[in-house]
Chains A and B, each alone.
Chain A
Amino acid sequence: DAKTTQPPSMDCAEGRAANLPCNHSTISGNEYVYWYRQIHSQGPQYIIHGLKNNETNEMASLIITEDRKSSTLILPHATLRDTAVYYCTLGYSTLTFGKGTMLLVSP
């Protein structure tokens, strides 16, 4: 069973920030939080990962709560091409995926 809980779907207007939540209350001390996304008919694409501190890269920001029991992926200015299934997953060197969140970005 996946160790993360995500809403099944979310909507976002183009140009607005998309905030995708993830609960991982049973996370172990050394497990990383990873975010991947999967655009239809493609393989999953790495977005970002972190252990304790907040992280930012050219694609997104990752906010991890102090107790590490939840996190939020932020896409600062969503575009139509960001429409995809977003997976929050935990792991060391192997990953366990849940069903993810289907993010629909509309004009």
Chain B
Amino acid sequence: EAGVAQSPRYKIIEKRQSVAFWCNPISGHATLYWYQQILGQGPKLLIQFQNNGVVDDSQLPKDRFSAERLKGVDSTLKIQPAKLEDSAVYLCASSLGAGVVGETQYFGPGTRLLVL
């Protein structure tokens, strides 16, 4: 079974530029998550989708970050414009059920972003 796929793996941009990350979850997984992981810290949830609807985006900086999950499958996360403090690893995860308690999340390898 293929895992969660993410691209690109690495990205270097200058501040005020825009950037987009792509995630393809495990086939059949209804729930998709985007996390931000700053160096030395644990992952922080940015947004959670169930199918193509947003369940939780309370920690998403909506003035610069946006995310979509068209057709309830793959997803893109965009930052526009980027700031220096956005330098981090952006992780995508998926789980099988929709709002099921006690489910396992499976993580992709992440996209490492460096903002100069």
Q: Return chain A residues, CB-CB under 8 Å to B105.
A: 46, 95
Q: Which of A19-27, A60-68, A70-78, A97-105 contacts B (4 or more CB under 8 A)?
A: A97-105
- Which residue in A49, A51, A93, A99 is a CB contact (below 8 Å) of B40? A99
Nearest Cβ distance between residue B64 and chain A, in whole angstroms?
22
Q: State how many residues of chain B have any CB contact under 8 Å with chain A.
A: 26
Q: Which residue of A lies closest to B112 (CB)?
A: A41
Q: Return chain B residues, CB-CB under 8 Å to A49.
A: 102, 104
Q: Return chain A residues, CB-CB under 8 Å to B44.
A: 97
Interface residues of B, dominant DSSP: loop
Contact B110 A43 (CB under 8 A): yes
Interface string of A26-47 (1 = CB under 8 A from B): 0000101000100000111110
Q: Return chain B residues, CB-CB under 8 Å to A92.
A: 101-102
In the assembly, what is the distance between CA of A43 and CA of B93, in Å? Answer: 9
User: Could you list 10 examples of A-B contacts with CB < 8 Å?
Assistant: A32-B102, A42-B110, A43-B109, A92-B101, A93-B31, A93-B100, A93-B103, A94-B56, A99-B40, A100-B42
Interface of A toward B, CB cutoff 8 Å: 2, 30, 32, 36, 42-46, 49, 51, 87, 89, 92-100
